[in-house]
Amino acid sequence: VQTSNATGSGKGVFVGSVTLTTNWTGSTYELRDNTRGGQYTVSLNNKQGGQGTLYTDTDNVWGNGLASNGQSAAVDAQYGAAATWDFYKNTFGRNGIRNDGVGAYSRVHYGRNYVNAFWSDSCFCMTYGDGASNTHPLTALDVSGHEMSHGVTANTAGLNYSGESGGLNEATSDIFGTGVEWYANLAADAPDYLIGELIDINGNGTPLRYMDKPSKDGRSADSWSSGVGSLDVHYSSGVANHFFYLLSEGSGAKTINGVSYNSPTSNGSTVTGIGRDKALQVWYRALSVYMTSSTDYAGARTATLKAAADLYGAGSAESAAVAAAWSAVNVN
Residues that bind ligand ASN (CB under 6 A): 116-118, 146-147, 150, 170, 234
Decide if residue 173 touches Zn ion (CB under 5 A). Answer: yes
Q: Catalytic: 197? A: no
Closest distance to ligand ASN from the beta carbon of 147 (Å): 5
In the list Zn ion, ligand ASN, none, the entry touching 118 (Cβ below 5 to 8 angstroms by class) is ligand ASN
Q: Catalytic: 242? A: no
Number of residues that bind Zn ion (CB under 5 A): 1
Q: Using an 8 Å Cβ cutoff, are 291 and 302 in contact?
A: no
Contacts of 186 (CB under 8 A, 6+ apart): 15, 16, 18, 141
In the list Zn ion, ligand ASN, none, the entry touching 329 (Cβ below 5 to 8 angstroms by class) is none
Closest distance to ligand ASN from the beta carbon of 77 (Å): 14
In the list ligand ASN, Zn ion, none, the entry touching 117 (Cβ below 5 to 8 angstroms by class) is ligand ASN
Distance CA 317, CA 308 (A): 10
Q: DSSP 3-state assignment of 120?
A: strand
Following DSSP, what letter does each residue of 208-268 receive, concatenated? SEESSSGGGGSSS-SS--TTGGGS-HHHHTHHHHHHHHHHHH-SEEEEETTEEEEE--TTS
Residue in 147, 164, 181, 197 annotated catalytic = 147
Closest distance to ligand ASN from the beta carbon of 117 (Å): 5
Considering beta carbons, is residue 170 or 222 the nearer one to ligand ASN?
170
Considering beta carbons, is residue 78 or 173 the nearer one to Zn ion?
173
Contacts of 6 (CB under 8 A, 6+ apart): 21, 22, 23, 24, 29, 60
Q: Which residues are catalytic?
A: 147, 234
